[in-house]
Amino acid sequence: MTLEINVRSLVIFERGQNIVENRRGGRSAPTTVNSSVRTREYLTTAEIERLMAAARKSSRYGHRDAAMILIGYRHGSRASELCDLQWSQVELATGRLHIRRAKNDSPSVHPMQGDEIRALRRLQREQGLSSHVFMTERDSRVGGKKLVDRLSTKAKVEGGKSLTSSAQPPPTS
């Protein structure tokens, strides 16, 4: 059995069993490596469309939630980046989105597609004047924890098949 030692995180990976153990001290329960449980770490376009449809149906802010899913998926945005997105970063006339990345990533400008522009225009009409793109009914920006909770609930409601992202472990039965 071959052992690979990652000195930076002090983790041992045993190829034969796909188990990761913490070597910092104390014995924690072994954790299964994601690649041994599922073959991919992303959602397909069809799964995103189903998730957006579930978001539209399940709450009175379905359009806002579906727009968050669409923008996050197309631009690879973190939850915190979506929550901090301001109207000053959105150029609807030219179809450009200025993304301020979190965690010391480089900011960038992304082109937007027609469905994104239409969703953001509708959102702007419905919510009126505000600084942030995604707002609550009490005129405050949507929080990152709330966003993750809301989207994971939508994924569970979505219709049987579980949609899990790489941030969440697969459901156990």
Q: Read off the tokens for 160.
A: 């049987």
Separation between Cα atoms, residue 25 and residue 23, nearest integer Å: 6
Question: Mind listing the domains of the chain with CATH numbers?
Answer: 3-37 (no CATH), 45-157 (1.10.443.10)
Q: What is the pLDDT of residues 124-156, one digit of tens each?
A: 998 888 889 888 777 777 776 666 666 666 666
Q: What is the pLDDT of residues 9-64, one digit of tens each?
A: 334 444 444 545 555 555 666 666 666 777 777 888 898 898 888 888 877 788 88
User: Distance from first CA to last CA of the chain, Å, rounded?
Assistant: 30
The strand order across the sheet containing 90-91 reads: 90-91, 96-99, 108-111
Q: Kindly report whether the global pTM for this prediction surpasses the value 0.85.
A: no
